Amino acid sequence: MARLSGERQARLTELLLSEKRRLWSDVRRELFDKVGKELHSQYDFPQDVGEQGLISLLEDTGMAVADIRRQELTRMDEAMRRLSQGTYGFCEECGMAIDEDRLRVAPYAPCCISCQTRREGPPYGPGVTL
Domain with residue 38: its CATH number is: 1.20.120.910
In angstroms, rounded to a whole number, what is the distance separating the alpha carbons of residues 109 and 98?
A: 8
Give the model confidence (pLDDT) of 47-96 as tens digits.
555 555 655 655 666 667 777 878 888 898 899 899 888 899 999 999 99
Position 89 in a domain:
yes
pTM metric for this prediction: 0.62
Position 126 in a domain:
no
Position 125 in a domain:
no
User: By residue range, what is the domain housing residue 33?
Assistant: 6-120
In angstroms, rounded to a whole number, what is the distance separating the alpha carbons of residues 98 and 88?
A: 9
Position 10 in a domain:
yes
Choose between 52 and 17: higher pLDDT. Answer: 17
For the chain, the first-to-last Cα distance in angstroms comes to 38
Position 55 in a domain:
yes
Position 1 in a domain:
no
Give the model confidence (pLDDT) of 20-43 as tens digits.
888 888 877 776 776 566 544 544
In angstroms, rounded to a whole number, what is the distance separating the alpha carbons of residues 116 and 91?
A: 9
Number of domains in the chain: 1
**Cβ 20 vs Cβ 76: under 8 Å:** yes
pLDDT value at position 43? 46
